[in-house]
Amino acid sequence: MEEQPLSNGQDTAICQNRIIRVGTRKSQLARIQTDSVVEMLSQRFPEAKFEIVAMSTTGDKILDTALSKIGEKSLFTKELETALEKNEVDLVVHSLKDLPTTLPLGFTIGAICKRENPHDAVVFHPCNAGKMLSSLPEKSVIGTSSLRRAAQLKKKFSHLDFRDIRGNLNTRLRKLDENNEFSAIILAAAGLRRMGWENRIGQVLHPEDCMYAVGQGALAVEVRANDQDILNMVSVLHDPETVLQCIAERAFMKQLEGGCSVPVAVTSTVKDSQLYLTGAVYSLDGSDSLKETMQTGVDLKLQQDGDGPDDDIQHVCITAKNVPHKALTAAETLGINLANLLLSQGAKQILTVARQLNDSR
């Protein structure tokens, strides 16, 4: 990640003689991700002391129901945000894709770290090692907890049977290896890489096969919006290009009123001061879909004034103090405009039907 300069001498003084409590989920992957954020902060603020507070969330406790059926918008965040509200922790580390596009009043995403590989990956049962999804036998069972993945892959690989699988990364891999129910499972490549299990990836799904989830592969640091000391501290972790991509993606999702109960997918990239965003919506079986791409100019070389009237403006609940405000606004507008384009083509009807069918299953 590109080094960001400390904004002023006060940043160092903020952290002296203070224990900074960091909230996280208890899973092994969540701890690895949190440890990586704490390590980056420790390098920048060696005088600070960090204490990790791990807890279970609703999504961790309910393992016998598909995520899309639970209907809770903050499955993996609610308990952590309660601790943040009660000042039991000072910041919380999340996978950005777990964070709703609207946060509770008083909270903001104070940092988004450089994105890991955002694509989905296929992990095959050992007996299918060396195969691809296209070469699996008819009616092979593929495990995924995501409507987005299933909707896209059902259409492309119609010979396969997609079924729900729940649990953390360790649990799902154990179910794959030991139960012989699944021929393969679909997981985020980023999580496998962070766990050191890249060797389990049998196939990476590129956008032509499966576009990824909003915010997938990025880590977010959530803080109290009025805690300027912590907000200033974590802001050094922002990766500007990742911030712009994720703002555009989250604005797209928010304008569509999407979530885990409907199949919405994206891809985005920044190249030559242009931000490109592709967004799509799908029916549950993938037979009906809309997909479009738009772009906008984003100049990251503009100087950010800092401490000005735009400095603490949130863009889809993200506060990015060290990224030019014009670029942030352009990214958010891009996401909104792309969503409006799809809505004008009938996206609302596709998503409404998908939501109703999912609720009735």
- Quote the radius of gyration of the chain (alpha carbons, Å): 20
Helix (H, G, I), strand (E, B) or coil at 293: strand
Cα–Cα distance, 54 to 23 (Å, whole number): 6
Task: Output b/e per residue, 13-46; b: 16+ Cβ within 10 A.
Answer: ebbeebebbbbbbebebbeebbeebbebbeebbe
Determine which helix (DSSP H) or strand (DSSP E) holds 266, and give its type and residue range.
strand 264-271
The catalytic residues are 98
Beginning with the edge strand found earlier in the chain, give each strand of the sheet holding 107-112 in spatial order: 49-55, 19-25, 91-95, 219-224, 107-112
CB atoms within 10 A of CB 212: 27
215 within 8 A of 224, measured Cβ to Cβ: no
Question: CB of 185 within 8 A of CB of 143?
Answer: yes
Contact of 351 with 256, CB cutoff 8 Å: yes
Under 8 Å between Cβ of 96 and 221: no
- Counting every residue written for the chain, the total comes to 361
Rounded Cα gap, residues 337 and 329, in angstroms: 12
Contact 328, 315 (CB under 8 A): yes
Q: What HEC string does 168-217 produce?
A: CHHHHHHHHHHHCCCCEEEEEHHHHHHCCCHHHCCEEECCCCCCECCCCC
Task: Report the SS3 class of residue 333.
Answer: helix
DSSP 8-state class, residue 114:
P
DSSP for residue 104: P
